[in-house]
Structure 1
Amino acid sequence: MAGKNITGTAPHKVAKLGVARTFQNLALFNGMSVLDNILLGRHIHMHPGVFRTAFYWWAARPEEVENRKIVEEVIEFLQLESIRYELVDGLPIGLKKRVELARALVAEPQMLILDEPMAGMNQEEKGYMSRFILDARDERGVSVLLIEHHMDVIIGICDRVLALNYGEMIASGIPKDVVKDPRVIEAYIGGSHG
């Protein structure tokens, strides 16, 4: 982060450096509500302790109120108000992905890594998620690293693209040029299609 190699750094330390992420395979906590799952994203901003717990009303409550305020802002930002108390278990995939995005955003990251946030979504859900990602970037000033296979999404929301084939970079640049690169066509479509 910021020119520093963070390979091998513990996840909680990476989070404190301002990096948050979502997962290709959902990593929500079943049996917990949407609100509780999102609150977990604030863990790096909380300062638990015996003293703070013993003197909750004076020491810990102001911090809790501030954390809940930020969570509620993100819930509103991602239009999750109507399901805040529902268990995540029964939600459709598009809403689960949105909850996971919310959990990442409440950490107030400088960089957001999204690992296939559109996986398993229909076209309408992909449209919503694309808009939320763009809004997070534009309104919250978050840099976004998007790992995605849906070319329509990549062309629609990415400023720059790096195409890999078995871990080797085969093209980089602006999306409309990268998707026309013969090596990208060969790797992702399987031949030189017009």
Structure 2
Amino acid sequence: MPPGWRKSIPAEALLQLRQRLERLSPKNPERALQIAAMSQLYGVSATSVYRALNDLLKPHTVHRIDHGQPRILPRQEMERYCELVAALKFRTTNKKGRHLSTRRAIELLEDYGVDTEQGHIQAPKGVLTRSTVNCYLSGWHLDQPRLHRPPPAVRFQAEYSNDCWQFDMSPSDLKHIDVPEWIDPEKGEPTLMLFSVV
């Protein structure tokens, strides 16, 4: 078998099995024999057969081919306008967390435009709506809670579980600094140490 190949039971066989099981009573021991025969025939466990039977007639979510893609504008343009709306909302946030509404940010973008490093950008009137922009702001993680969220802390840890870390402290004879004022001469001379991590 090629790598990544997954054993599966054809839908026709599952439908036939379901029809045979429907003819039997729920407590009939023949049901378990039918399931065992099907699992042995296709080389899967009995649990997999039960799971396949349950999934056979479940409704599946159906999306359009362009689900999640903007239809009113090309994706690049929509991303740029959403970034500008998010930037306007971010820059107008006060200490209480209040900021410009999406509707007002769109109005400013359509009426006056925004000066950026790439030049003056002004959105065409009537193309951007509040609900569409809000949907893409949250979908592309440009909404206010995510923009104001602090970056995640990076833990100091080994990449692999068996990695060894060695901390080395060695006195430095080659480096000298002026004695700081907070050093107490009664406690002895301070030693400058070099720290290295391997």
TM-score clears 0.5: no
Q: Which has the higher contact order (CA 8 A, sep 6+)?
A: 1
What TM-score do you get using the length of structure 1 for normalisation? Answer: 0.19
Higher helix proportion (structure 1 or 2):
1
| TM-score (norm. length: structure 2) | 0.18
Asked which structure has the greater CA Rg, the reply is 2
Which is richer in strand? 1
